[in-house]
Structure 1
């Protein structure tokens, strides 16, 4: 049986305690939208509070450090994230790669650290506009994937991949259905080379200006197993609209 669509909201550097009302509303909606798996990744300051307020959805972090602990001022270890109530962590987001200089090797090490303490991981890959225009999107994404994914014997249960074309994040632009389908197919083929048959169960999310009015089309593309949602996840109304669209793709 195919896994439920996985709809993950990434709040990025947004959110104070007043935002917990949105998390509660999303959690209540998830009770009736059971054909999709729903999760939120709030800022680290809200991890524990979100886990207490929302017990029906997944709650995860936006990053973690590779080390178990030590002299790393301002960083948070995977064990600390789990202790705060998280069940997963997003790794290698394009904003982390660009703003913090994270390499594929860094992402892989973080993934290994997260898996070792029992967290699941969402590993992000994607090309820039220049790479897309140069015709190297497929090779860039598959090379990122191969170098960023940690070893994992039970990858089908522990690993998710998110494809996020960098040029589409927060811009209102989206690739064509054909472009998204081609990248997702290439990711699936690469996953099979990396993880073998377990890769069939790894969900591949699409991330890049996903909104309620385009979610149904995007989530109907072959190999798209859900969405990594940015700005639209800050409002319960818009985020729940995307979750509802995901359920429609199952019914259809």
Structure 2
């Protein structure tokens, strides 16, 4: 089945109004198809983007609560009002630095879907888990926490495989390694819903750049990328986006 590709930019705690302007200028000059690209800047920069452009916007996290006395948190509705239609859920940095559990991540993803946001669920194993050959066990646990009891959420999700050992290290999985893991993820997802497993977008993240993305995107089960550092360089990010629009799988 031909799935629509997606490139997502995660600026993390980086960026500025000047970078927003530069990114808008670069991306609006590209022949992007609808919802082919989503940019996830710090929440304070969301409203700096034009109300109408040829790419989507997303948040980097959200609260599992609707509203209330939760200082510093952002609800799904607040993100939507700022222009977001996507939101990253369960990034490894949130899991490690903020102690987000599988259960909390499941609640956040459900809240995003209920509000009409498309969640980008991040999953991935550490270097130690990889060395212990526990990659599939870890990914299965992270997926089961969300979809085993809520399989209907799969059809409204995007999933990003980000091996923790590759995030920000300059070390990326080989295309063959990434494809093997993505194929496992899709096979595991079929336990919840066969049709949704075929249709769901699977992104690769972990030191993605303009040099390695084309080979990664050619793999059968890799439908795009969640880009970190390279998304802060508009010209390089544009090259990654163009690899999708030009049909790198061909």
Match of 1:239 in 2: 237
SS in 1 for 2:211: helix
Q: Which residue of 1 aligns with 2:21?
A: 21
TM-score by length of 2: 0.93
Equivalence for 1:180: 178
- Tell me which residue corresponds to 1:200: 198
1:106 Cα deviation from its structure 2 partner: 0.8
Q: Secondary structure at the match of 2:57?
A: strand
Q: Which residue of 1 aligns with 2:152?
A: 153
Secondary structure at the counterpart of residue 84 of structure 2:
coil
Once the 2 structures are TM-superposed, how far is the Cα of residue 250 of structure 1 from its aligned partner?
A: 4.2
Report the RMSD for the aligned CA atoms in angstroms: 1.8
Q: CA deviation at 1:145?
A: 1.3
2:220 aligned with 1:222: yes
Q: 1:51 to 1:183 in 2, by over 3 A?
A: farther
CA contact (8 A) 1:36 1:243 kept: no
Where is the helix percentage greater, Structure 1 or Structure 2? 1
Quote how far apart the aligned CAs of 1:26 are.
3.8
Shift of 1:199: 2.0
8 A Cα contact 2:219 2:249, kept in partner: no
For structure 2, the residue ranges without an aligned partner over 5 or more in a row are none
The secondary structure found in structure 2 opposite 1:2 is: coil
Q: Supply the distance in 2 between the matched residues of 1:96 and 1:22 (Cα, whole angstroms).
A: 28
1:213 matched to 2:217? The reply is: no
Runs of 4+ with >6 A deviation: none
Q: Find the counterpart in structure 2 of residue 46 from structure 1.
A: 45
Structure-2 residue corresponding to 1:11: 11
- Comparing 128-137 with 2-11, which one deviates more in the overlay? 2-11
Shift of 1:177: 2.4
Give the TM-score normalised by structure 1: 0.93
Report if the CA contact (8 A) 2:171-2:207 is conserved. yes
Deviations 1:8-28 (A, max 9, x none): 101100112122123312431
CA-to-aligned-CA distance 1:145-185 (integer Å, 9 cap, x gap): 111347363743x2100000001011110122222111101
CA contact (8 A) 1:36 1:246 kept: no
Deviation at 1:35, TM superposition (A): 8.5
Match of 2:79 in 1: 81
- Structure 1, unaligned stretches of length 5 or more? none
Matched ranges for 1:23-172 at <5 A: 23-30=23-30, 32-34=31-33, 37-52=36-51, 55-149=53-147, 151=150, 153=152, 155-156=154-155, 158-172=156-170
TM-superposed CA distance for 1:251, in Å, is 6.1
Q: Specify whether residues 78 and 152 from structure 1 end up closer, same or farther in structure 2 by C-alpha distance, changes over 3 A only.
A: farther
Taking the aligned partners of 1:163 and 1:155, their CA distance within structure 2 comes to 15
Paired residues of 2:40 and 2:58 also in contact (CA < 8 A): yes
